[in-house]
Homo-oligomer: A and B are copies of this chain.
């Protein structure tokens, strides 16, 4: 492992190469030179220097369409490990990742930020991190950067939640300050859907400049990528789509308004509809699930739907259609090239996605959907943790590059 502060002596050009290697996820020397507009010889010299300093490593040959296979590059694992934390409304995920975003160790558990204050949840994060570090044979000082996602609006500059509707106890609490003294590394806090957007952007090697990342779990939120960068809005609350109205006569949402998409199509709404269907005798499968487990979860509805249960199908189709209705207005406004769906809802299976698609294409203007792709994120349930790692590494490179 390297001595601390390997960054201090780096030039601007060297920092650009590190960033480019990070984002190109296994790019070749040639690709890096191209991307930065450097001559081959300049790029080669910079890369050789960075390999010499133990910052870059060669990662084996790139699959090639012919000719001599190009050696690919990655950030050196000796740089340290990234700590990624993804705090959802009802879930907590913690992971250690390599600088090139391979997950070394991870832990997932249920939590409830609506019931538990920041002190309790973050103390748990601290203890899980200790365990993961010990088990994987790392020291806290080897942590290179920390990325944390929370299910509420964040003032990114100060790492603090701002008026989070879901978790009022966390208002103005500085997640960053709480964890800062644990590590000799910068700590970055962002909204959980922005984390997902970071993960997707990295997977795509920044090849799509304008897309949306929708999370449907306990709530519904949207990460926005605009001009190739994650967009947070003027005060950190951009992407708050959960309270777009999809039915003026719908049920009252916890925000006080009627018919918010979150109140009608997110996880709890699916569970509520399924429980009602079970109790009303509309579905033998759901009734059986309720009897044996005492409750129904969104995944049970997905399972019943895949087994052909008509009531479960109806519930999923209805949820997907409402999500699509919300997406339609957002797509008309933002005209993204892609919409990626993630979060717990993806576990319900392909029918939901089909219903979302049908509804978006039906309701959006032809123009904004002509080339629009709507799909589940290929990163699946890891997208948040990977995004936490991307946030940590990307911002650490930025901070270290600016520092004298």
A226-B226, A227-B229, A333-B334 known; A365 and B236 CB under 8 Å? Answer: no
A129 in the interface (beta carbon within 8 A): no
User: Can you name the residue of chain B whose Cβ is closest to the Cβ of A236?
Assistant: B335
Task: Indicate if the CB atoms of A227 and B231 lie closer than 8 Å.
Answer: yes
| Segment 1-31 of A: residues with Cβ below 8 Å from B | none
Of A235, A333, A363, most B-chain CB atoms within 10 Å: A333
Q: For the complex, what is the distance from the CA of A194 to the CA of B229, rounded to whole Å?
A: 20
> CB-CB contacts of A366-399 with B at 8 A, as 1s and 0s?
1110111000000000000000000000000000
A234 in the interface (beta carbon within 8 A): yes
What residues of chain B lie closer than 8 Å to A241, measured between beta carbons? 332-333
Task: Indicate if the CB atoms of B332 and A329 lie closer than 8 Å.
Answer: no
A243 in the interface (beta carbon within 8 A): yes
Interface residues on A, range: 35 or more
A148 in the interface (beta carbon within 8 A): no
A63 in the interface (beta carbon within 8 A): no
Option from B240, B255, B332 in Cβ contact (under 8 Å) with A240: B332
A85 in the interface (beta carbon within 8 A): no
Q: For the complex, what is the distance from the CA of A52 to the CA of B257, rounded to whole Å?
A: 64
A48 to chain B, nearest CB (A): 28
What residues of chain B lie closer than 8 Å to A239, measured between beta carbons? 333, 335
User: Can you name the residue of chain B whose Cβ is closest to the Cβ of A370?
Assistant: B235
Q: Which residues of A contact B (CB under 8 A)?
A: 153, 162-163, 165, 210, 222, 226-227, 229, 231-241, 243-245, 248, 255, 257, 329-330, 332-337, 363, 365-368, 370-372
Q: 13 additional contacts, CB 8 Å, given A238-B335, A240-B365?
A: A162-B367, A165-B365, A227-B229, A233-B368, A237-B365, A239-B333, A243-B365, A244-B329, A248-B248, A255-B365, A329-B329, A333-B333, A333-B334
